[in-house]
Chain A
Amino acid sequence: MTVYSTSDLRSGLKVMFEREPCLILENEFVKPGKGQAFSRIKIRNLRTGRVLEKTLKSGDSLESADVVDTEMQFLYEDGEFWYFMEPNTFEQYQADSKAVGHACNWLSEQDLCVVTLFNSVPLTITPPNHVELEIKETDPGLRGDTASGGTKPAVLSTGALIKVPLFLECGEKIRVDTRSGDYLGRVRDLKKIKTD
């Protein structure tokens, strides 16, 4: 464990603040022409994602947080926990629904994702930016309507509900941006573009 003084707090460092693991976003050194200096820090709570602004006395110290991002493979879920495996050591980790959060909308078995470990326990799960999923349920496709720009709801194999263009059918594989939940394209079209 490392202890950082206010002058060492740089953006990107992970520290414990009020018993929560936090990421330093900004640290502004404030020193009026007279008296004590202090630091205005902006931090993100890594568990909740909430951003806080706090003022610390210069020379105060914060302990480093044992937080590491590790790429892991999603194995399966059993209704209570989600299981992940570190592909090099084959070590398995179980994450609860709090840690998985919205990532549950996008994870398919075998997918690689980033598991953020806090004291060796999954804290958050970050799915890949783009995932390929199958449409499970949607209204019948309007054949040929590739231009109107209209959309309809579709349920994906993971249970996520997103908006897709009208021409898509059940069973088709699509690519989705997990950060926005936006439809990016049909996998076979995207593959075709790539090989053309």
Chain B
Amino acid sequence: MTTEVAQNWEPTAEISALVERSRIVAKLRTFLTDRGVLEVDVPILGNYSVSDPYIDSFEVLNERVEGFLQTSPESFMKRLLAAGSGDIFFLGKAFRAGEIGVNHNPEFTMLEWYRVEWNEHELMAEIAELINILAPNIGCLTMSYRDAFKQHLGIDPHDACLSNLQRHVSSIAGRKWRPESRFNCLNFLFANVIEPKLPRGLVFLYDYPECHAAFAQLHCNREGQLVSRRFEVYLNRLELANGYFELTDPKEQHRRFDRDKRARIAMNKKILEEDESALAALNVGLPSCAGVALGVDRLIMQLLDKNSIQQIMAFSWAQR
């Protein structure tokens, strides 16, 4: 037997950070359980994967199974909601291939919850309460996506035409780079211009452009523009959570799956089978609800004032 000690056996995080982590996770669980939200444990390995063309999953393929590590528990949770579960939360692992960096780890911990009969603003208020328990007296700002763009770039994200947005992108990007869609231009400008200027503390942005709808419902804002009822949460300028007033119309959901599929074809990405179970559940009827997914590792990283996500993970991707 070899007596050589394997290299890199040590944990990535300091034990003291893991003690803090455990306390924070316990508080998250207590917060929701105390409010009558039911914890559910759903499969991490599923038959279907997310249709979003910009999210890559890990495929599991061997003689016994053909499936995907889930990029979020969304689809299973919606099946539970359709079955009458009422308010539910999931606290567990999610996987996204290729996402690695100081704010990303391909295997990460997600807290996702759904509130039946709530709208996105009620859910935002609950998130603010939760964060305030973990970080008392943290500043909080709520503004529309449009106001953020108006304030920092002087453009209306809902009306600006593609070429105008492309000009803004080209003036910042290092090379001649013209994102081919309004969606990608807006994301680029948000991440490179607005995000760095957000105040520290907690920031909620709501009423995203229609092209950001994903699984959110649409409505008209005060200016009469069609926007999606999506919101995002930033903590100290780091994207922390993403939520929707959930789409419940199966026909519209099917159209969005189709749109994602066409985008995947255009990007030469693998075409995935449509998640029929999720669609079937929607056909039976998803109750009116708001849902949010929160990156637990990022939350802990900010609360402990660490500058990389790996510093609060027992074993990061590189150490696995």
Chain A contacts to B: CB under 8 angstroms: 7, 17-18, 28-38, 41, 52, 54-57, 60
The answer to whether A34 touches B104, judged by C-beta atoms less than 8 angstroms apart, is no
Task: Please judge, given known A-B contacts A31-B104, A32-B187, whether A37 and B179 are in contact too, CB under 8 Å.
Answer: no
B190 at the interface (CB under 8 A from A): yes
Known: A34-B214, A54-B173, A57-B177. 17 other contacts (CB 8 A): A7-B100, A17-B174, A18-B175, A28-B101, A29-B103, A30-B101, A31-B101, A32-B190, A33-B232, A35-B183, A35-B184, A36-B179, A36-B188, A37-B54, A41-B174, A52-B174, A56-B175
9 nearest A-B residue pairs (beta carbon)? A54-B174, A29-B101, A35-B187, A33-B242, A36-B184, A55-B173, A32-B187, A35-B54, A32-B191
Give the complex CA separation of A33 and B179 in angstroms: 17
B186: min CB distance to chain A, Å? 8
Cβ proximity bits B164-176 to A, threshold 8 Å, 1 near / 0 not: 0000000011110
The answer to whether A28 touches B102, judged by C-beta atoms less than 8 angstroms apart, is yes
A147: min CB distance to chain B, Å? 46
Give the complex CA separation of A97 and B188 in angstroms: 42
- Chain B residues 216-264 with CB under 8 Å of chain A are 232, 239, 242
B192 at the interface (CB under 8 A from A): yes
Give the complex CA separation of A15 and B177 in angstroms: 19
- What are 5 A-B contacts defined by CB distance under 8 Å? A33-B239, A34-B187, A36-B187, A55-B177, A56-B175
The answer to whether A38 touches B188, judged by C-beta atoms less than 8 angstroms apart, is yes
The answer to whether A55 touches B172, judged by C-beta atoms less than 8 angstroms apart, is yes
Give the complex CA separation of A60 and B183 in angstroms: 19
A26: min CB distance to chain B, Å? 10
Task: Please judge, given known A-B contacts A35-B184, A37-B99, whether A55 and B104 are in contact too, CB under 8 Å.
Answer: no
| Residue of A18, A29, A36, A52 with most chain B CB atoms under a 10 A cut-off | A36
Give the complex CA separation of A148 and B52 in angstroms: 73
Give the complex CA separation of A60 and B175 in angstroms: 10
Chain B contacts to A: CB under 8 angstroms: 52, 54, 98-104, 172-175, 177, 179, 183-184, 187-188, 190-192, 212, 214, 232, 239, 242
Could you say which residues of chain A place their CB within 8 Å of the CB of B179? 36
Could you say which residues of chain A place their CB within 8 Å of the CB of B101? 28-31
| Residue of A29, A35, A56 with most chain B CB atoms under a 10 A cut-off | A35
A36: min CB distance to chain B, Å? 5
Task: Please judge, given known A-B contacts A29-B100, A34-B214, A36-B187, whether A55 and B232 are in contact too, CB under 8 Å.
Answer: no
The answer to whether B187 touches A56, judged by C-beta atoms less than 8 angstroms apart, is no
Q: Which residue of A lies closest to B195 (CB)?
A: A32
The answer to whether B99 touches A31, judged by C-beta atoms less than 8 angstroms apart, is yes
The answer to whether A55 touches B192, judged by C-beta atoms less than 8 angstroms apart, is yes
The answer to whether A34 touches B99, judged by C-beta atoms less than 8 angstroms apart, is no
The answer to whether B175 touches A29, judged by C-beta atoms less than 8 angstroms apart, is no
Give the complex CA separation of A18 and B173 in angstroms: 13
Could you say which residues of chain B place their CB within 8 Å of the CB of A30? 101, 191
| Residue of B99, B172, B191, B214 with most chain A CB atoms under a 10 A cut-off | B191
B26: min CB distance to chain A, Å? 26
Give the complex CA separation of A93 and B172 in angstroms: 40
Give the complex CA separation of A169 and B142 in angstroms: 71
